[in-house]
């Protein structure tokens, strides 16, 4: 760990519907409360093959537009992204990577970052933690993020999964209704919907997760050689 009086953390995230951004903000607040400096860095998805369909909000045909990226996503492909300067270089004491779950996997924008030279520069020899955000009806594979982070020379110190409200079917319907209309829908197909976004206790989960990660970082010196 750095000997600086104020250790620093980088939170790299991608957010299509602003849920990952809310999680990143909550984790940054938790870090600051523990005496750390926190820098949030949002990855921008610029791939012309997908960005026009995915960036529209509300979406005219959400299911069709969202599945446009499915074949590439399932093959673990990368795409064009814009990396903010804060996530290109920097001597951070901790790196946290937060990704929405797309079709059971780490989203293409975050995978693209983790496979970039910039990520290797930032993560080599540093503790890193993995975060995913998903609807309940999708399982999640945080092992992908862990594997890519370790390939960059990072030292894994923890992971967590933020789940949106609702059960299997209602969660999906609530989210599709939100994406189509741009606001939460009380009913879809006559069914009463739960909120389409993060559970109300997500901030408490963020604080608890950061507390555990920092306890492990402080207690386990980092191998500077990576």
- How many residues are listed for the chain in this entry? 226
- For 1, counting Cβ atoms within 10 Å of its Cβ (0-12 exposed, 13-18 middle, 19+ buried), the class is middle
Q: How confident is residue 167, by pLDDT bands cut at 50, 70 and 90?
A: low
Where is pLDDT greater, at 165 or 145?
145
User: CA 7 to CA 51: how far, in whole Å?
Assistant: 36
How confident is the model at residue 182, as a pLDDT? 83
- Which contacts qualify for 54-57: CB closer than 8 Å, 24 or more apart? 54/16, 55/16, 57/17, 57/179, 57/182
Q: Which of 23-27, 123-127, 166-170 has the lowest mean pLDDT?
A: 166-170
Sign of the dihedral defined by the CA atoms of residues 178, 184, 187, 193, in that order: positive
How confident is the model at residue 63, as a pLDDT? 83
Percent of the chain with pLDDT over 70: 90
pLDDT tens, position by position, 176-186: 888 888 888 88
User: CA 35 to CA 48: how far, in whole Å?
Assistant: 41
User: CA 20 to CA 14: how far, in whole Å?
Assistant: 6
The single-letter DSSP state of residue 43 is P
Q: What is the mean pLDDT of the chain?
A: 88
Q: Which of 159-163, 178-182, 221-225 has the lowest mean pLDDT?
A: 221-225
Nearby residues of 220 by Cβ (< 8 Å), 6 or more positions away: 127, 155, 157
Domain 8-164+199-219 belongs in CATH node 1.10.10.10: no
User: CA 52 to CA 223: how far, in whole Å?
Assistant: 42
Nearby residues of 209 by Cβ (< 8 Å), 6 or more positions away: 27, 30, 129, 131, 158, 160
**Assessment of whether the complete model's pTM goes beyond 0.75:** yes
């Amino acid at each position: 760990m750095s000997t600086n009086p104020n250790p620093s953390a980088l939170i790299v995230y991608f957010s299509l519907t602003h849920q990952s951004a809310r999680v990143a903000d909550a984790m940054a607040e938790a870090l600051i409360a523990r005496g750390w400096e926190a820098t949030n860095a949002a990855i921008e998805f610029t791939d012309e093959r997908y960005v026009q369909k995915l960036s529209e909000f509300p979406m005219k045909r959400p299911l069709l537009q969202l599945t446009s990226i499915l074949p590439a996503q399932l093959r673990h492909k990368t795409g064009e992204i814009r990396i903010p300067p804060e996530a290109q270089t920097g001597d951070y004491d901790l790196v946290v990577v937060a990704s929405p779950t797309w079709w059971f996997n780490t989203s293409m924008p975050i995978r693209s970052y983790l496979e970039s030279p910039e990520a290797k520069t930032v993560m080599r020899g540093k503790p890193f933690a993995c975060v995913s955000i998903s609807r309940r009806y999708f399982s999640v594979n945080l092992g992908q993020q862990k594997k890519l982070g370790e390939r960059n020379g990072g030292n894994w110190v923890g992971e967590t999964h933020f789940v949106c409200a609702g059960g299997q079917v209602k969660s999906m319907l609530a989210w599709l209704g939100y994406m189509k209309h741009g606001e939460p829908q009380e009913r879809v197909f006559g069914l009463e919907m739960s909120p389409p976004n993060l559970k109300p206790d997500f901030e408490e989960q963020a604080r608890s997760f950061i507390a555990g990660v920092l306890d492990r970082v402080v207690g386990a010196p980092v191998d500077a050689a990576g």
